[in-house]
Amino acid sequence: MHLIRAGAVVLDGKLCRPGWVQIAGWQIFTCGSGNPPRPPDQDFPDCIVAPGFIDMHVHGGGGASYVDAENIGGAADFHLSHGTTTTMASLVTTSPDKLLAGVRALADATRDGTLAGIHLEGPWLSTARCGAHDPVHMRDPDPAEIDELLAAADGAIRMVTLAPERPGSGEAIRRLREAGVVVAVGHTDATYELTRQAIALGATVGTHLFNAMPPLNHREPGAALALLEHPDVTVELIADGVHMHPAMALAAMRAAGADRVALITDAIAAAGCADGSYQLGGVAIDVESGVARVHATTTIAGSTATMDQLFRTAAAQAGLEAAVRMTSATPARALGLQQVGELRAGYDANLVVLNRDLRVTAVMKRGHWR
C-alpha cells in the first residue's frame, strides 16, 4: 500500500482540503477527505491531486505522430509528462491502405496499454470543411471498408468522426454503433436538421465544436447548435485561445455544462517543439508563434497545446472543479471508458499532482510514477 496526502484532492468532483489517496498495485484502494488514517508515504502539502487527464482527440506531440508506428510511444510519453494518463490516438484522412496500416499499428499500442484506443477523424468528412485534412482522400462511408477497419482494430477503434451529409453516413452510424463505436459529428457542412437526424441515429459527440463546421447563424443554426443543445451529446472544445475566442469557449461551457464538455488538444507532432515545418498525414504544416497552419494558407491545422495548458485556462474561466470534470470524468463517460476519469476506490491509479500555479509536478499512471 502506498499512501499519498495532499493539501487538496479532487474526490467525487469536489475539492477536499486536505485529502488522501491510497494505492494498491495499479489501482486506488481507498481515498478520503481530511487527514489520512496513518502517516503518508508521500506528502504534497502545497499541491492539488486530481484525476489524470484524458485526451480524446490528439494526433501527436513531442515531435512524434501517431501515424508513424515507430513513434507512437514517444507521442504518448510526451503527453503523459503533461498529465495525460489516458490517450486516444487520432488518425487523419488518408488512403485506404495507409489508414488500415495505421489502425493495425495503433491497435497493437492499445493492446499493450500505451493508448486507450483509436479515433478515426476521417476519411468520411466534408470536402467543404476539410480543414487540414487532404480532400483528395475524402470519400463516402463504404460498408466494406468500415468492416475491414473494425476487424483490423479488433475493438481498438473507440470513436469515429464523420460528416452526416455524406451518402451512406446513416448506415455507417448504425454499423459503428452496433460495433460499440462512439460516433462523432465533425468536419461537416450539415444543416441543423440533418445533424439532429445523425444524433437520433446514435451520434453522441461533437468534434471540436465550432471548428470545421458552419458558424452559428440566426436563420441557419447549423450543426453547432444541434450539437450544443442536445443533452445526450458531449462537445469537444479546443480552448487554446487560437481555435476559438475565450468568450465563445466560456459560452459553450456555460451552455452545455462541465458534464457535457470535453477539453481536447487536437495536438499534432509539433506540440512541445520549436516553430518550423511539420506533417499532418500527407499535409504540410507550418508552425509560427506556436500556431499550426496548413502550409501557405491561413487554415488552422490542429494545435500545439497540452492538456495541462487547457486545464489552467478552463480553471481560470469556469473554476477548478469544472476544469477537472472537463479533462477527466466527462471524456471518460463520452468514450465509455471504465475505471478512469475519477479518483475513487477500484479505479486505475491515474493522477496528476499540480502546484499552486496548476503546473504539473508529478504524474502517476496505473500506480507508477512517471
Spell out a b/e string for 317-347, using b for 16 or more CB atoms within 10 Å of the CB, else e. bbebebbbbbbbbbbbbbbebeebbbbeeeb
Tens-of-pLDDT digits for all 370 residues of the chain?
999 999 999 999 999 999 999 999 999 999 999 999 999 999 999 999 999 999 999 999 999 999 998 899 999 999 999 999 999 999 999 999 999 999 999 999 999 999 999 999 999 999 999 999 999 999 999 999 999 999 999 999 999 999 999 999 999 999 999 999 999 999 999 999 999 999 999 999 999 999 999 999 999 999 999 999 999 999 999 999 999 999 999 999 999 999 999 999 999 999 999 999 999 988 999 999 999 999 999 999 999 999 999 999 999 999 999 999 999 999 999 999 999 999 999 999 999 999 999 999 999 999 999 9
Which candidate, 60, 113, 114, places its Cα nearest to that of 91? 60
Q: Rounded to two decimals, what is the model's pTM?
A: 0.97
Note whether 271 and 60 are within 8 A (CB): yes
Phi, psi torsion values for 207, nearest 5 degrees: -75, 125
Give the chain's largest Cα–Cα span. Answer: 62
Three-point CA angle 200, 256, 258, nearest 5°: 120
Q: What is the pLDDT of residue 282?
A: 87
Which residues are marked as active site? Answer: 266
Q: What is the pLDDT of residue 177?
A: 98
Enumerate the H helices of 138-278 as residue ranges: 143-153, 169-178, 192-201, 222-229, 246-256
**C-alpha cell recorded at residue 321:** 472543479
Which candidate, 77, 146, 94, 90, places its Cα nearest to that of 119? 90
